[in-house]
Structure formats: C-alpha cells, structure tokens
Structure 1
C-alpha cells in the first residue's frame, strides 16, 4: 500500500538514494529541500506524480510547521525521515560560535522541528514511523569533528526519547548511524582539502572501515526503507550502525 513519506534533504547523496527507493516502491514522497533546483535536476519529470519538492529550511520552525501542516491537510503523514544535515571539521578550539549555532540549528533543531510538527498528525492518524540519520560519531570519538559529533549524539538521544514517549501511540522511532558513505560531499571535501591527492586520500579514508571501503548511498537507503516498512513493525527505539565494522572492529 502506498504511503506518504516526508524526507528532509532528499535532493542529493544519501537523501536522494532514500527518495529514489521510496519512489521506486510506489510511495509518495514530499521532499523538504533548500536546494530546490539541485533536487529537480536529480529527479526526472517522470517522478512528478509521486514526488513533490518543497522549499523548506528545517531550522525555521514556523516554516516547517506550515509545510508539514499543508502536507497533512491533503492526506496522512505515514513516515518522516530526518536526513537533512550539515558537517563541520574542527576541534572545540577551532569551532566558532557561528559554527556551533549553524550545526545545532540544522542537525538538532531541524530534527526537533520536523518531529514536533509531524507527531500530532501521526497521533491523529493512529501511528507512524520516524527515522533519524545519526552517525558513527554518535558512538565513538572522531578527530576534528567536535560540533558534528555533538549534534549527532543529540540525534541519537532524540531517537530514544521519542520512541519511549510515543510507543503507546503507535509511533515507531529508530535511527541509522552510517560510517563514511561515498557521496558528492566526500568528493568535494577531497578536492578542496587534498588537491592532486584525491585518489590517495579516498583510499585512506576507505580503509578506516574494517570492511575496506565506504558505504554506497543505496545501502543506507535500503536499510532506511526496511526500518520504515511494515516488516520492521516490531522495531523501535533502536539505532542501526551501518559502518563496515567501524565501531566494534576498530575498538
């Protein structure tokens, strides 16, 4: 049965892969995206009947409430996937107040805003599924990722709290903690920070996963789809590391 799915930051990388798998399975996707033009380039006109790309800044609560209320006015909100996020490189010394505010606004407040807006509609409809994108940085210390790790640790705690508070309402809440995933962001990071050494550094970063490579966005998307499906109806309050052995085998 087709479901209505809200995906934040679904226009590129992991978000685009998640959007694609839900579209291919016949569901209707409402993509909340700041880069609307980029998202439209990533998806064809053939997706028009089941994909709506909606301009939205998830850090703006008034905007999120308006957008999600509008979606709910035309049907149920069955699934919410909080994927939108920003990264940052730096220690506590090199992280500025502006850096911290930006990461908190998107990675933490953005998740809160969307859940805050969606929960009342899910309760009214008798249940729903929430999936948050956490990170291996939620679990282990990673060098030069102070602010990013802080925000992803918060996402993990949000997941547990929401799952606990709303299990009796028929709302499930889980998260995924990926290790490095080969997305355009990784390629851009390497080009910016290691010009001329991109392949060398890509191989180095890949080998930090014991399995010997980075994840593919589609692998994250397939897990996301399962966790949001009826086949995972007994699963809530759980984080799923998709890390090539990073957390357990590097310890």
Structure 2
C-alpha cells in the first residue's frame, strides 16, 4: 500500500483507513466510534495499526505531533473496544457505556457549537462589514497623523537617560555670564590715589594719578584709557566725600587737583 492510498486523492494529512467494516479517514472513524454509530467489535484493529505504521514509515516529513495524534486516536479505539467486550453484568461495562454516551453528547455539543460559530462568522460584522453612521472606517488607522511615528534616535537617548538615573531631571538652565572687559577698577584707583596723595607735599593733578599705561598712552586701547580717567576721578570724589582729601581747581580749563586734608 503506497502513500497515495494512505492519504487519499486529495493529499490530506488524515490517513485513509481501508477495512472490511469501514473505509475513510481516521478522525471520522474515531468520531463514529465515540458516537456509537459503528460497531467497534467488527473492526480489525490489527490491520488498522498496520496501515498507520505504513503511513508513518512512508511519510518521513510527517510532523511528530501528527504521529502522536494518530497514536492517541488508535489508543482511544482500543480502550473503547476493550471496555465494550466486557460481560454485560460487569460494572465496567456500564461505565464504558456511560462514557460512550458522554462522548456522544460532547460530540453533538461540539457540532452545534461549530455550526453556531459558522453562522456568526457568516453574519455582517460591526466595524468590518457595516459601520455606524459617523464612525471612522477601516482605513482610519492608516490615516493617523505622523505623530505616532517614533524618532529612534530620541528613543535611544531616552533609554540611556533612564539607565543612567537621569530620567525626570530637567536639564540645567543656561546662566547669563556678562562680558568681562579689561578695564581699570575703582578699587585699584582708590589705592593709587591715596598713595599719590601721601607721597606728594602739595596738590596733585588728576592726570598725575592715572595708571602708567593710560598716562603714557602707548599700547593702551581707548576704552581702557577712558576707564582709567573715570575710575581715578571717581576715587578722588569718594575720598573728598569721606573727608580724606580736598579738591582744588584754579581755572575751569585746568584739570582739578587734590590734596590731603
């Protein structure tokens, strides 16, 4: 018996059993036996096992799960037949009869459930075949704005932030840093003015208390030179205000002079 005879002309995965009392698929045979629609005692189970052995040997690509399923089916047939061959007054005979009745009821219930599922599947489905007025159609998801798209680079940076423990910590805000100009300060000018007044015996004009770079004027930028005049004059006015010095100016066109009090 070849593979063609075992699996039928349609090439299905269920082997075709050819016995004197039955010819058809193994699954259908088990269903008939469970429903007591065929006399199990009339079946040649030895020939059945031989045909399944040939089917397994001639089908090396057959999945292991399918082979195990066949073995379970044949085991179920052997169990039913062994129980039905018991004497009529044996309690196990009644148990076998009750088990067959339960199996038949379960088979009928499964058939009813399959018919109900097929009937439901054939009916129009809400949201697939028919739609509520105003509801989005089946292509609504494809028309979503690109806000659903994920930036992979940003996603990876976010994952790194979580792994580093910096998740949820806001980035530091930038601080305003003023531009530092190279100017003469009032503090330095105050020290210089006090030193000049202490070393002089009379009034000292403002230009004589300027820093050396600003006084000579060589290599001194204009802004730095103006800061020298401003800081020196401011320091002199502070000393006058504090009573440490006095201002003298004989003529308006001349520079003011300062002396110690």
Structure with more strand by fraction? 1
- The TM-score normalised by the length of structure 2 is 0.20
Which structure has the bigger radius of gyration? 2
Larger RCO (CA within 8 A; separation ≥ 6):
1
- The TM-score normalised by the length of structure 1 is 0.21
